[in-house]
Structure 1
C-alpha cells in the first residue's frame, strides 16, 4: 500500500511517499492511524523545503498527474533546489532518528517501544522504522 520513504522522485526522498498518502486519504483508503500526522512531521519539513504549503499541495494532487508532474509544480510554485540542496535534504531525511541534534517530541527509541519494536536494534532511523512497521501491517 505504501511507498518506501527511500523512494525518490526528481532525486528527492520522501516526496513519493507523501504524495501516495495524500492520494490514499483522498480516496478514503488511508488507515486511520496515519490521519493525525498528515501534513506534519516529515511532510511539513518537505513542503517547507519545496517552498509550498501542504494545503496547496493537496489541492494540486487532487487535480491529478504523476509524481514527476506534481514535483515540477512544486518547483514552479515554490523553489527548485540545487543538486547540493537535494543531496543535503536526502542525507538529512534518511538519517533522522540517528544521532539527531534537535530534540523531537518523541525520540526514535520511544517510538519503537510504542509500536512494539523496542527490541529491534536494526531500526536506527525513522525511515527504517516506517519500512519495518508497514511490513507488519496487512
Structure 2
C-alpha cells in the first residue's frame, strides 16, 4: 500500500487504546478524498475498524457521522464512544491492546498475514503481526524500533 500522509501507525494510542486514531484518520482522509480507496475502501468499517467499533459498542456509521461533524478532537471522540457504548475498564483496554498488537502472530490471522507479507515482498522484514505489516507496507520507520513510542 502507498504511504498516506496523515494516516498514523496502528500502534499509536488515543487515550488507552491502540488503533482508534488510525480509524479516525481513515475516516477523515476518505472524507477529504485523500485515502486511496483501491487500497483501503473495501475494509472501511470492517476488519480492524469493525473490531474497534464492536469493542466500543458503537456503530461505525454513527462514529463516522459524529467525527465528521468536526467539533470533537480524537480524545473527545473516544469519550463520546464511552458515553454511547459504556466505559471500558483498564483491564479491558489492556486485553484489547494486547489482542490487536499481536494479531497475526500465531493465531487465526497468521495465514492471512503470511500471504500479505509475500504479496508485498516484505519477506526479509521483521514483520510478526498485522500492525507490523501495516507499518512496513505503508513505508513507516521500522515497526520493530517503534520510534513513535520514544517521543
Fold conserved between structures, TM > 0.5: yes
- Once residues 12 and 125 of structure 2 are traced to their aligned partners in structure 1, the CA distance between those partners, rounded to angstroms, is 23
Q: CA deviation at 1:123?
A: 0.2
Partner in structure 2 of residue 73 of structure 1: 80
CA displacement 1:94-119 (0-9 Å, x = unmatched): 0000011x3x49521011112222x2
CA contact (8 A) 2:67 2:77 kept: yes
* RMSD (CA atoms): 1.5
- Once residues 120 and 36 of structure 1 are traced to their aligned partners in structure 2, the CA distance between those partners, rounded to angstroms, is 27
Partner in structure 2 of residue 30 of structure 1: 35
- Once residues 63 and 110 of structure 2 are traced to their aligned partners in structure 1, the CA distance between those partners, rounded to angstroms, is 26
1:129 aligns with 2:136: no
Partner in structure 1 of residue 94 of structure 2: 87
Task: Name the count of aligned residue pairs.
Answer: 133
Partner in structure 2 of residue 107 of structure 1: 112
Q: Unaligned stretches of 5+ in structure 1?
A: none
User: Of 3, 8, 11, which aligns to 1:3?
Assistant: 8
Could you tell me the TM-score, scaled by structure 1's length? 0.91
Structure 1 segments of 4+ aligned residues over 2 angstroms from their partners: none
- Once residues 40 and 105 of structure 1 are traced to their aligned partners in structure 2, the CA distance between those partners, rounded to angstroms, is 18
Q: CA deviation at 1:120?
A: 2.7
Q: Unaligned stretches of 5+ in structure 2?
A: 141-151
Could you tell me the TM-score, scaled by structure 2's length? 0.84
Partner in structure 2 of residue 42 of structure 1: 48
